[in-house]
Structure 1
């Protein structure tokens, strides 16, 4: 059977994914995300990065937005996690206007390469031009996602645009070198207002992979703890909800978002601080998100057990120790997209366990390449579902036997 024939069968299997998505907001009910009719919604999708120094969704020099979104739809996926940098919003406030994409590309890649990539982007996406700004490209992605029935989960990946993440990149923790908390709040207030006109945007990830700020040992020693996490995350959630009450608010954890262990049980976070869903007026908008890259796992039982301990136990409605029953979404996990890695313990376990728990997920990563990553232009992404030119799947074997069965199990 040819691969495209398989996709045709997938479309028949998931008719709800082929039509348009509702413009109504999502909310939560216990461990579930639900739509306006009360139907359970499980996220199953991929990450689409846009937070590196060009501050644009990747891949548009190779393909159109319509084509890329269509590839997600071919898989039967229903969501993208679209990442951005607060620096983009800082620029708007500092300059009084957003930066044109051509200028941003030249700043990132140099005059010659930046101009060439700009021309390629416009050739593939002729709706753009000299005056098109970065945020307008994000808007175009969100609009196309709505047209093709794909939810958008908007994620603040970093403050200063860069590849993420390390403990010494200045983006690690509240008050770190580039992590200005006031600008972060300001940026989210701006985006919460902005996306009101984009009905595909249903949820936000308030901050990606919080971690110890090891470039500032004083800050790490005095501030890196759950109590300060609560103060900052809850304040941001309050502000976003006040501006746009439709959005689901994803709370990420510590240690690169690999743990939210004290949250399901409402344990003491320090200074008699407790996270209790019942304390929030927007309790029906709270979702937990976790990441996992434990590719060294030797058994699915040990990996799944650790995931429950890390925070997925918030899904356990029959466990009396769980105070905060909430949806949990694995917004990042990933592995090499080749013909064998998807068969190993880590990938195989998540492919089976996440759907069995009815937990949402977004694989890292859609990108076949980057405009620039860590200083290397046209960087090849071997973890990308798409090949270098974003034309087709990097490994048809991994897609047919790894990704598609996971989508089917999650959304069937």
Structure 2
């Protein structure tokens, strides 16, 4: 018989916690958490709690950790403007003016912080390498042995993300990579 060990998550008091997570994408072309042009960040966080969730799987592109120009020199406003998403710029200016002129990574930190202020745990999910739509069977950066997936860059990005959020108490986990996909033999690739 196969015996699978059970993992139990406990809070700071040693009480068992069951995760009830919702997905919040921040890995698409703007590299900013979706919906901030439609509602205030705090309203979104409170809505997550009111729907019975205690956790967010917050997606992020590897470039957020490995491309300092994107992460630290491009503001939220600039990110949306370069994609010609001018209505979203106006929406963020209306609903979340505090983040409009922040660098993209700082806006990501604001989302994590606000979720924490509302008692929501976060699992940081590395979704893909370059901001964009994910996922398909012919995705070029899906995982090991794909032409646009560099294991050294991936490990560097994961390490940097873990270091930056290591003392953020509402960050309770990190996914290593979203949904291995395509036609490769993933179990054997892991052992290489």
User: Is TM-score (shorter-chain normalized) higher than 0.5?
Assistant: yes
Aligned partner (choices 171, 176, 183) of residue 206 of structure 1 = 176
- Alpha-carbon displacement from aligned partner over 1:184-236 (angstroms, at most 9, x marks no partner): 11111111111134321111111111123x5xxxxx4xxx34132245xxxxx
Go from structure 1 to structure 2 and tell me whether the alpha carbon gap of 1:41 and 1:96 turns closer, same or farther (over 3 Å shift). closer
Residue 145 (str. 1) matches residue 121 (str. 2)? no
Distance 1:95 1:55 in 2: 9
Structure of greater Rg: 1
Checking the alignment, whether the CA contact within 8 Å between 2:58 and 2:124 is kept in structure 1 is yes
How far 1:95 sits from its partner (Å)? Answer: 6.8
Distance 2:81 2:64 in 1: 15
Q: Which residue is equivalent to 1:365? A: none
Distance 1:126 1:105 in 2: 14
How far 1:96 sits from its partner (Å)? Answer: 8.7
Q: Any residues of structure 2 matched to 1:301-316 within 5 Å, and which?
A: none
Checking the alignment, whether the CA contact within 8 Å between 1:105 and 1:117 is kept in structure 2 is yes
Checking the alignment, whether the CA contact within 8 Å between 2:72 and 2:105 is kept in structure 1 is no
Distance 2:98 2:76 in 1: 13
How far 1:119 sits from its partner (Å)? Answer: 2.8
Distance 1:192 1:228 in 2: 24
Residue 122 (str. 1) matches residue 83 (str. 2)? no
Q: Any residues of structure 2 matched to 1:228-267 within 5 Å, and which?
A: 228-230=189-191
Q: Which residue is equivalent to 1:192? A: 162
How far 1:41 sits from its partner (Å)? Answer: 1.2
Gaps of 5+ in 1: 1-28, 215-219, 232-412
What is the aligned-residue RMSD (CA, Å)? 2.0
Gaps of 5+ in 2: none
Aligned partner (choices 33, 37, 44) of residue 20 of structure 2 = 44
Distance 2:110 2:49 in 1: 17
Aligned partner (choices 226, 241, 256) of residue 187 of structure 2 = 226
How far 1:122 sits from its partner (Å)? Answer: 2.3
Ranked by relative contact order (alpha carbons within 8 Å, sequence separation 6 or more), the top structure is 2
Q: Which residue is equivalent to 2:152? A: 182
Distance 2:73 2:113 in 1: 19
Residue 99 (str. 1) matches residue 79 (str. 2)? no
Residue 79 (str. 1) matches residue 58 (str. 2)? no
Distance 1:75 1:96 in 2: 31
Residue 158 (str. 1) matches residue 128 (str. 2)? yes
How far 1:134 sits from its partner (Å)? Answer: 1.1
Distance 2:36 2:63 in 1: 21
